[in-house]
Amino acid sequence: MICPKCKEDRARRTERVNAVDHIANRFFFKPYSCHSCQHRFYALRQDVGMSAMRAELTQRFAGARLRKNHKRNKREFLIYVFAALAIIAMIYYLAQQRA
């Protein structure tokens, strides 16, 4: 990647470190930093196209599906725990009546 400030081909991708970086990522802009002049800038992602957009949407839907499944699994786990506690309480109550 060519740096817009010093015009050298030494700019490389950098990590997202703040909220602006994450918001820019949603609009297909990635943070870059020049190793010559330390200039930090955003550039349009190289792989932006219909397939990249489709892949990102698929990834977002997969994340939403995982969150939904996690909530459902947690809810089912709690139901099973309460049912097991109720059965244990009934067994304990029946054992106390026979004794």
Could you read off the pLDDT of 46-96 as tens digits, one per residue? 655 556 667 777 888 888 888 888 888 999 999 999 999 999 999 999 999
User: Strands, E, within 1-99: which ranges?
Assistant: 11-13, 29-34, 40-44
Query: Residue 66's pLDDT is what?
Result: 84
Q: Which pTM does this prediction carry?
A: 0.44
Q: How far is CA 45 from CA 28, 30, 50, 55, in A?
A: 6, 6, 13, 14
pLDDT exceeds cutoff 80 at 45: no
* Reported confidence tier of residue 9, pLDDT bands at 50, 70, 90: confident
- What pLDDT is attached to residue 34? 92
